[in-house]
A and B are shown apart, each in its own frame.
Chain A
Amino acid sequence: MEVTIETAEEIENTGDPWTDGGQLSYRQLIWRRFRKNRMGVIAGALLLLFYILAIGADFFAPYHYNEINMRLRHVPPQRLHFSVENGFYVHGLKSVRNPESLELEFTKDLVQRHPVEFFFKDAAGRRHLFSSAGPMFLLGTDRMGRDLLSRIMYGARVSMTLGLVGVFLSIVLGSILGTISGYWGGWVDNLIQRIIEVLSAFPDIPLWMALGAALPPGWSSIQIYFGITIILSIIRWGGLARQVRGKVLAYRESDFVMAARAAGAGHWHIITKHLLPGCYSHIIVIATLAIPGMILGETALSFLGLGIRPPMTSWGVLLEEAQRVTVLLHYPWLIFPAVPVLVVVIAFNFLGDALRDAADPYSD
């Protein structure tokens, strides 16, 4: 049976939304309210910037993340200088062997100057936004002489996408099971709710640790990446499923669903056209607020050596090197990967908070 009725959205869009405030669609209203929240907009822009940097790390990072310089291990961060005739430059490095620890220590060589070149072409023919022919480590190097700044940028790829993929998985799982649970009720509902309760009875980090340790040692980096993603989302879908179930339960008995059923609509049509659209804003808010938890989870797991494994790199892998106090005291710059973790997590929290306020029809 074909019924051609204009959907609510089409009717709304026929009017000019800017002259008639009463005809804004729900999405436009959310966008309007969201733009008013300064912290939320800043956080969103910051995250966008971070994702662009992460995706374009090949270009934005001055070096490749696995470029090893065994003679330049644990170089402290170099300062960027600027002069009118030279442009940006860094000083060269002088190495001195410490007579006590027998470690090479680096100091500035004030005579040498390595200019920073933009759109630098390295030996392999890859273009970088900025790099230098001489050693230029703005955040220092690690125990294998790899540039920390580049490693952080490449690490962002793993750490930041893992949160997105993981949340996507838990959205899919949570919405499907939550809808089933709320729509059909009965024993199916009972079963799903009990499963969620059992899952939430585990403290998450110890369970993640156990599952992370159970990943086979022979797996490739990509397999580990998806393995960790699945592990992280396995526990987190429960909360989302509960929220969706609650919404679906509330809508199921509402007049418009009754009307749809009376008009002969099938289950699939009711769920996808009438029930789920009411949950979208909810789902997006919960997802945004769940991403930081996933990023922190991955960081914690990799930090303990149970998550992402080298040569793949993530912020947690980078922080693993900073695990021992003695190392940190000698090479304090190794803690630097903690900064992007903090910034991204705080930004996601602010963004989620702003979205929640914007999506709440009762605010302001």
Chain B
Amino acid sequence: MRERYGLNDPLWKRYFIWISGFVRGNFGESFEYKREVDELIWDRIAFTLIISVGSLIFTYIVAIPLGIYSATHQYKWSDHFLTFLSFVGMSIPAFLLALSLMVFAFDIFGVPLFGLFSAYYEGAPWTWGKLGDLFKHLWIPVIVVGINGTASLMRIMRGNLLDVLGQPFVQTARAKGLKEIVVVGKHAVRIAINPLISILGMSLPGILSGSAIVSIVLGLPTVGPILLRSLLNEDIYLAGTLIMMLSLLLVIGNLLADIALAWVDPRIRYE
């Protein structure tokens, strides 16, 4: 048994054998599941991606308008309220939010909000009905994972827009007699939104981490729960592969964010 898994070799040799297999797509075998790691992880990675991308979209769709609103209503009570809300949003740990949401949902609907599918579709082949069911369950983890990022992004958007609104060209636009909505929407927001794209790459680690821990609490079939299990059972090849995959996702995400920035901002392209 130990012979078969190569556990008698020194650590560096085992690592070398595993990592050289990894780059060729051979991730080793899970001790616990007695199956190739390769078979276990792909649909989990797919669900992780779905939730992460969903959270990212949620974050930007909610944070940008709120940030704009907050900046254009600076120091009014609504701005103070949003500021306080964003501080709370930044401070609340995702797993706590998930936990309390689950308790509330159980109190109100009487059904546990567990997993990504209803019992009926669990294990069923993919149909349109199953896809619809997935979306019905998806919004909770997406919001829970996205809250932290939304709060901090909103603060950044507010700060950026306030900086831009103080600049002379905005004053010029106002002096020309443009409507406030044109000044803000057409002139100021366009510039203030630019840095948010470079933050895209920075917000990825938080979202991936968040999705892992929220999935553990909500029992979602993503990378999180299986990673925790493999760590507790010292299933090293599985755990190693999962962490490697998460890091790869992060690096690829950063690359995409950089490409998006170069696509949006011509100054970066020509440097």
A interface residue numbers (CB < 8 A to B): 200-207, 209-210, 213, 292, 296, 299-300, 303-306, 319, 322-323, 325, 328-329, 332, 335, 338, 341-342, 345-346, 349-350
Residue of B whose beta carbon sits closest to that of A346: B91
- Residue in contact with B212 in the complex, picked from A203, A299, A306, A350, CB distance below 8 Å: A203
Q: With A209-B231, A350-B87 given, is the CB distance from A203 to B247 under 8 Å?
A: yes
- Asked if A210 contacts B103 (CB within 8 A), the reply is no
- Residue in contact with B205 in the complex, picked from A204, A210, A213, A304, CB distance below 8 Å: A204
- Asked if A200 contacts B205 (CB within 8 A), the reply is yes
- Asked if B243 contacts A202 (CB within 8 A), the reply is yes
Which residues does chain B contribute within 8 Å of A205, judged by CB atoms?
209-210, 212-213
B interface residue numbers (CB < 8 A to A): 87-88, 90-93, 95-96, 99-100, 102-103, 106-107, 112, 204-205, 208-210, 212-213, 216-217, 223-224, 227-228, 231-232, 234, 239, 242-243, 246-247, 250-251, 254
- Asked if B103 contacts A345 (CB within 8 A), the reply is no
A-B contact pairs, 13 of them (CB 8 A): A202-B246, A206-B224, A206-B246, A209-B228, A303-B95, A304-B216, A306-B231, A325-B103, A328-B103, A332-B103, A342-B96, A346-B87, A349-B91
Of B95, B106, B204, B224, most A-chain CB atoms within 10 Å: B95
How far, in whole Å, are A342 and B88 apart by their CA atoms in the complex? 8
Q: With A201-B251, A306-B231, A325-B102 given, is the CB distance from A206 to B91 under 8 Å?
A: no
> Total A-B pairs in contact (CB under 8 Å)?
95
How far, in whole Å, are A210 and B231 apart by their CA atoms in the complex? 6
- Asked if A300 contacts B213 (CB within 8 A), the reply is yes
Which residues does chain A contribute within 8 Å of B231, judged by CB atoms?
209-210, 213, 306
Residue of B whose beta carbon sits closest to that of A338: B96
Q: With A304-B228, A323-B217, A325-B103 given, is the CB distance from A204 to B91 under 8 Å?
A: no
Beyond contacts A213-B234, A300-B93, A304-B216: 7 other A-B pairs, Cβ-Cβ < 8 A, are A203-B205, A206-B246, A306-B231, A328-B99, A329-B106, A332-B103, A342-B88
Which residues does chain B contribute within 8 Å of A207, judged by CB atoms?
243
Q: With A205-B213, A306-B231 given, is the CB distance from A341 to B93 under 8 Å?
A: yes
Give me the 6 closest cross-chain CB pairs, A-B, nearest first: A205-B209, A213-B231, A345-B91, A203-B208, A346-B91, A203-B209
